[in-house]
Copies of this chain bind each other. A is one copy, B any other.
């Protein structure tokens, strides 16, 4: 509860331009205009992801009648996609949008603020971040980098990926090449998979030519657009490796603190509204795309066998423990996250999960 109260206070003032912002100060600032540059890790026109960021910037501009104008650049347009963390940290640009786990090389613990295998789903992530102390922890960890992070977007549970051959036992994973990044890649490597990294633009061709045997991407909507159903026959669920990835906005501390309090609140509310907008879009577009994949393209949508999931879950626990033993901050966040997740699991079991079963299976 302490952490939560602290967040509330931060929301109410401590994060503001200065805690001494008065009505007079705000009035003086009223005439001041701010022009920010925002770089993302997404391709131009990447649906929902990049579109959501552009929508956010437009809302902020219109809400503030141009007092805060944010010019949005896709990955590579101004800064290479995976250099946005440095660019914002150094103040080259004011804002970035991407996913915290892209910075795992610098900050291994950042991965908890996107998604970890067999971790929290979207509703759990939001509850942890906004109302369970997660966001305060995230801000603590980014503070030395002069960055203020905000949750802004969530894909919901992703799909498990496209496979050219059926996975019937754990043995079927051995030796296959799969495009799967991050912790999911580390976990599945322990099961014998050879995880490779490929940018979006190369995935389809690699899979189609058999350079890789499998790939994960996002969910039905994005996977359909990439045409992956033409390159592999089996579409596996669930996305055990990315159960509810949170997208992040990062703002340079200096730019943030220069904003008058009312503009900070506009940014904060718009980010939270965008968080929900993106999740709702993913959910609505995914359910339509799933229908298309099944009815029009006759894709075989298959659940991973229980024994495979059980094995991956064990390997996840081992992987997370190994990472924790290498990095004190990772260990600290892991412990807090796990504690929240245990209670969340107990609640989810009798609420969302029990309800879904009751509504569908009876």
Contacts and interface: CB of A to CB of B under 8 A. Distances in A.
Interface of A: 4, 23, 26-27, 30, 59, 62-65, 118-119, 121-124, 126-132, 156-157, 159, 219-220, 237-240, 243, 261-262, 265-266, 268-270, 272-273, 275-277, 279-281, 283-288, 290-291, 301, 303-304, 306, 309-310, 313, 343-360, 362
A163 to B, nearest CB: 15
A338 to B, nearest CB: 13
Given A63-B265, A272-B276, A360 B349 contact: yes
Nearest to A273: B272
A304 B359 CA distance: 12
Contact of A272 (B27, B130, B240, B277): B277
Closest 9 CB pairs of A and B: A131-B284, A127-B283, A272-B273, A287-B347, A238-B355, A310-B362, A238-B354, A157-B351, A130-B280
29 contacts: A63-B63, A122-B123, A123-B156, A123-B280, A123-B283, A126-B280, A127-B281, A127-B283, A127-B284, A130-B277, A131-B283, A237-B354, A238-B355, A243-B359, A268-B273, A270-B273, A272-B272, A273-B276, A287-B347, A288-B343, A303-B354, A304-B358, A306-B362, A309-B362, A313-B362, A345-B360, A348-B360, A352-B356, A353-B357
Contact of A273 (B261, B269, B358): B269
Contact of A269 (B63, B127, B309): B63
A358 B287 contact: no
Interface centre among A301, A310, A345, A353 (most CB of B within 10 A): A353
Contacts of A291: 343, 346
Contact of A262 (B64, B219, B277): B64
A287 B343 contact: yes
Contact of A352 (B127, B266, B269, B352): B352
**A interface secondary structure, majority:** helix
B156 A290 contact: no
A124 to B, nearest CB: 7
A53 to B, nearest CB: 15
A286 B348 CA distance: 10
A48 to B, nearest CB: 10
B287 A62 contact: no
A350 B291 CA distance: 12
B65 A26 contact: yes
Interface centre among A239, A353, A356 (most CB of B within 10 A): A356
A234 to B, nearest CB: 13
A2 to B, nearest CB: 13
B281 A131 contact: yes
B59 A276 contact: no
Contacts of A261: 62
A296 to B, nearest CB: 14
A127 B280 contact: yes
Nearest to A62: B265
